[in-house]
Amino acid sequence: MTAIKRALISVSDKKGIVKFAGALIDAGIEIISTGGTFSELKNANIDVQDVSSVTSFPEILDGRVKTLHPKIHGGLLNIRSNKDHQKTINEQKIENIDLLVVNLYPFEKKIESDSDYKTCIENIDIGGPAMIRAAAKNHESVGVIVDPDDYDEIINEINNNNLSLKKDTLKRLALKAFARTAAYDSIISNWLSDELSIPLDKYRSIGGIEHQNLRYGENPHQKAKFYNDGSNVCGLITADQIQGKELSYNNINDTNAAFELVSEFDPNLEPAVAIIKHANPCGVAIGNSLKSAYQKALRCDSVSAFGGIIALNKELDSETAKEISEIFTEVIIAPSISDESKNILSKKKNLRILVTGGLADPEKSGVMIKSVVGGFLAQTKDNIIIDKENLKVVTERQPSEQELNDLLFAFKVAKHVKSNAIVYAKDGSTVGIGAGQMNRLDSSRIAARKSDDAAKMIDLEEPLAIGSVVASDAFFPFADGLMAAADAGVTAIIQPGGSIRDDEVIEAANNADLAMLFTGIRHFNH
């Protein structure tokens, strides 16, 4: 047990601080404080001592220096059982600080509000992290609180344990403290990385603040949380959930995949809908209306779409909402939703509806992280957009304008399909998707079979792939994958190219009278 006799309070977030400080005073604990916190407590008639009277040194440099002083850090860092330490602090007239209550300058909020560079820099806390780390290092003797949510628990323990904190409590508080400063520094570091366009330097930090505690992870035996990394990009982290159950780990993963995919399509040019299951698209389409786009996307694989995630690139209107309400859906995510649509979908109590206020920027830079045993992999986001100027026709036959549009559409979708990825598309809609296979030939066959199944669902005599185009996320290593697509009825192909057997594949395309385009860009998505 560590006795708490003297506390230092310096908080940016004043939530609950007056009540907490009052409880400390009632318990007989002395309080020293700084700047705005001192004024807040003084105005609340709480007996508090200004830190400058302790250090005998004023705040200087516009508040940049106020707690960086030996009388503060000596009070936090001295080992109470060390005779030499105790001799020194007695000689220097340094008093112990047993409890530190600090939360940091709101750097995250400044970058969220797109503050200018100078404002962000001024909101990088120095004294706060220094004190937190000092107190956390000396946690056998000092309690450190960085989270207002801990105030009540700590007061209760102090009052119930003769003004003392338990060793386990001190250790747990230290853990949270170091995690907080690490996350804070990570957010600053990553912001500077963006500012300097240096996404992957020698040191790469990962930090975040809990956004949502999840019931479990991918499976019930796995623990999970959803963290905010402070980047403030439009998506699930900024979305408002207007109805439905709490999102699960799998919901979040799949919904993000759907949102990123549908954000590839400009709402000013065409309504777009993506239906996702297990992070892979069941169907994607553009249309003259959101309703028609949804109907086309659903047609691609209506069986897999059951219990899926639906993402839209425009406001969810009532006609589309009525269509969606006909089948079981886990999540809908859209930039906005009409009041009439809300009323229609309100009958689906468990349906989760997320409103983002906008779309993701598919060209925005970013870093993707994947953990591996003993470390993690980091790579820049796949944010390349392929347009007509990037394409090279390598066959004798040129694609028609409609084929060209469908090829570009299919390649956008393939970027978001797990490799090996094959996407059949026709008239701005996927008609067959093959994903995640160990070889490209199997992906091609699966996509063709799904096109056949989809046709049978709507009583068509021939597969939807007849007359379609096909996109491959990587090159065809052999002509067999291409010929499987030709057998399925495609008329044109888009792929990166780059195989040592490109000539064989081109020859096979020419022999089948197919148009084939190379992008020069691969979109592996493992």
Residues with a known catalytic role? 137, 278
Distance separating alpha carbons of residues 47 and 23, to the nearest angstrom: 12
Radius of gyration of the chain (CA): 30
Q: Is the peptide bond before 253 cis (omega within 30 degrees of 0)?
A: no
| CA distances for 16 relative to 12, 20, 73, 169, 309, angstroms | 12, 6, 25, 20, 39
Question: For 31, which DSSP code?
Answer: E
Say if residues 449 and 437 touch (Cβ distance below 8 Å).
Answer: no
Give the torsion sign (CA, 509, 510, 511, 513).
Answer: positive
Say if residues 106 and 167 touch (Cβ distance below 8 Å).
Answer: no
Question: HSE of 27 in the Cβ direction (CA atoms, 13 Å)?
Answer: 25
Contacts (Cβ under 8 Å, ≥6 apart) of 168: none
Question: HSE of 36 in the Cβ direction (CA atoms, 13 Å)?
Answer: 11
Q: φ, ψ for residue 303 (rounded to 5)?
A: -70, -50
Considering only CA atoms, which of 206, 196, 235 is closest in space to residue 117?
196
